[in-house]
Structure 1
Amino acid sequence: MYETTDASALVGAAPPRRVQADLADNAFCRDLLEGLSQSPRKIAPKYFYDAQGSALFDRICELPEYYPTRTERRILERHGREIAHVMGPQADIIEFGAGSLEKIRIVLRSFEASALPRRYFPIDISGSHLEEAARRLHDECPWLQVRPVAADYMDEAQLSGLDASTGRRVGFFPGSTIGNFDAHEALAFLRLAARVLEGGGLLVGVDLVKDPQTLHRAYNDAQGVTAAFNLNLLRRANVELSADFDLREFAHYAFYEPRKQRIEMHLVSQCAQTVRVAGQNFRFEEGESLHTENSHKFTIEGFRKLAVAAGFRPGPVWTDEARLFSVHWLESPRRGAASE
């Protein structure tokens, strides 16, 4: 089922294109050109999150169909004291893919005054969105050192901003973003996190396998906000990469693939067309898609096995009553202590 949408209303008409001085040094450009050259075509979901994409995702999180955000919030609120206890006093909190910083506020409220975290390092690829969100959090929590890091958290070389962290490091990775990775990428991220957080731990949100209809509604909302979020990727390419995607000729398409236990999101060409990106032409046939996101769902035991393979020691797991969502605490032992 293809979901059509009024692109100009939901995503916004693209402003005049600006050609960047050197697209060869632009990671978005390189990855999109590479993804369009593959069969099937694909692009990493991290490129959803320019300022407009981040704002659209914030709207998705408030939709009635989108259960992950509100369910995870309730888990964090209900079990906040337990979570604060395992994270420990005076920690440095590192949030991977921080977004709007809404969930960290729930975690911070759970600490006793004598055990408050010392520093908070939100990492996000959208620098402008991150700076504003970090400023608001610091205004609310002036006792907390907020040090935003504009980076791709999957690129360890970009994480030099974490050098200022000198205390016990605990990671925060909410929202089941771990599900956007394939198996190899998920393992690579967890191994990176285990290195960065050595001697501390990671609090991670994990979406669970469930009724496919619940999943379908969550990614095909009645207001079309998820469709706008998906199409915003093309608008971003038009603005930043001198592309000429006609948003009216692409449709949002999301479905659950039960054998792979994942939601797939695509942008489907509604007609045969040629698209130009950074001076290169790409032919789309009618019905051909650009694969923009996977959202894998896990069993609790399946995720714990993945964490062990990455070098973590699984700890407590908290879920809601309906077992829609889970929050895991993973200990990251110091090197040489893993087998003790």
Structure 2
Amino acid sequence: MSHLTAVANKNVLDQQFLNDVLNGLTQQQKSLPCKYFYDDRGAALFEQITGVSEYYVTRTELSILDKYSHAIAQLLPQDISIIEPGCGSGKKVAYLLAHLVNVKTFVPFEISKEMLNYSLAHLSPLFPKLVISPLLGDFTHSQMVKQLAKKSALVDQTNLVYFPGSTLGNFAPVQAIEILQNFHRLCGINGYVLIGIDLVKDRQVLLNAYDDKAGVTASFNKNMLLRINKELNGTFELDNFTHQSRFNEQQSRIEMHLVSNCTQRIFINNVEVNFKQGESIHTENSHKYTLTAFELLAKQANLKLEHTWCDDNDYFALCLLRPC
């Protein structure tokens, strides 16, 4: 990607950030899109979350990869390219790369430049012959995905879109379908999508996973406000908000909120936003699926579920999808 293209993409992302924040905070139930957690500091905080004892997701998924990577690799063709939207550290894709033969290219696709650099630094020494082609952008933005996929010629080859970590569950069903449609586009000709989903389980296990005793998740949640202060001239006082996790039975999802401790007003780019005491900003959803519910969701993006791999406790699943 050229320097001018990267700058243009960044400008689009900055304006979209401001629009999304102002739109979300002027709704009756204030909200912020979870994709904006992941500035450089937020991405680093999330890496810390994956190591806390209460957060079972990462270690469970890694155990599935450790056990089944060879079986997954046998189902995929040689000379495939791997695209990982929201690649993070690249820790999980390393398990697959170790078992796949003749991977053509690895494409980390990130909204955070620091995480792109981090994954590059982590994976290059492990796979010195691997061609790594970083892509800076927003995988939830359909028009951006279309443009980037076309410019990089990803649509003209066979790809595996790898989306671990149950990130799809952060999005409402309509948005999740749109993201899966983006992955359908990115997988190219006769491609594949390998995606991690968090399964329905005991409520307390879920609540603890999103409100760890060390307070790392609380710092991660509040970092969204810090980012608004830095990038959008916001005036949030972080101590005036408390992190809270809730389970929504009807929607089968964990919700993260930032609850205002007092009546207050803040400004974002000179726009005033008022809070009542006890009013919350809804910052994240994490939907929990049954395999049947996920299969129906994928079908709406014209993807069919071909294989599933789970841990012994049925906490988590890796699902292999193909275009219908």
Would the TM-score normalized by the shorter structure come out above 0.5? Answer: yes
SS across alignment from 1:75? helix
CA displacement 1:142-164 (0-9 Å, x = unmatched): 11111111100022332344424
> Which of 214, 231, 248 is 1:223 aligned to?
214
Most deviating of 58-67 and 153-162: 153-162
Structure 2 partner of 1:33 = 22
Query: For the Cα contact (< 8 Å) 1:23–1:241, is it kept in 2?
Result: no
Gaps of 5+ in 2: 1-10
> Which of 184, 192, 197 is 2:174 aligned to?
184
SS across alignment from 2:120? helix
What is the number of equivalent residue pairs in this alignment?
A: 309
Query: For the Cα contact (< 8 Å) 1:23–1:29, is it kept in 2?
Result: no
Distance 2:242 2:173 in 1: 27
User: Aligned AA for 1:190?
Assistant: L
Q: CA RMSD in A?
A: 1.6
Most deviating of 53-62 and 93-102: 93-102
Sort the Cα spacing of 1:217 and 1:276 in 2 relative to 1 into closer, same or farther, 3 A: same
* 1:152 corresponds to 2:138: yes
Q: How does 1:101-140 map to 2 (within 5 A)?
A: 101-111=90-100, 115-140=101-126
Structure 1 partner of 2:8 = none
Q: How does 1:298-317 map to 2 (within 5 A)?
A: 298-317=289-308
Query: For the Cα contact (< 8 Å) 1:119–1:144, is it kept in 2?
Result: yes
Distance 1:24 1:309 in 2: 28
TM-score, normalising length from structure 1?
A: 0.87
Q: CA deviation at 1:25?
A: 5.5
> Which of 71, 92, 103 is 2:81 aligned to?
92
Sort the Cα spacing of 1:307 and 1:24 in 2 relative to 1 into closer, same or farther, 3 A: closer
Most deviating of 147-156 and 163-172: 163-172
Instruction: Could you list the structure 1 runs, at least 4 aligned residues long, displaced by more than 4 angstroms after superposition.
Output: 22-25
Structure 2 partner of 1:172 = 162
Q: CA deviation at 1:216?
A: 0.7
Structure 2 partner of 1:194 = 184
Sort the Cα spacing of 1:98 and 1:25 in 2 relative to 1 into closer, same or farther, 3 A: closer
User: Aligned AA for 1:271?
Assistant: C
Distance 1:136 1:320 in 2: 26
Q: CA deviation at 1:27?
A: 1.9
Structure 1 partner of 2:266 = 275
Distance 2:234 2:301 in 1: 39
User: Aligned AA for 2:106?
Assistant: Y
Distance 2:172 2:245 in 1: 17
Structure 2 partner of 1:59 = 48
User: Aligned AA for 1:331?
Assistant: R
Distance 2:141 2:13 in 1: 19
Structure 1 partner of 2:33 = 44
* 1:330 corresponds to 2:321: yes
Distance 2:209 2:95 in 1: 23
Structure 2 partner of 1:335 = none
TM-score, normalising length from structure 2?
A: 0.92
Sort the Cα spacing of 1:292 and 1:311 in 2 relative to 1 into closer, same or farther, 3 A: same
CA displacement 1:279-298 (0-9 Å, x = unmatched): 11111000001110000000
SS across alignment from 1:117? coil
Q: CA deviation at 1:259?
A: 1.4
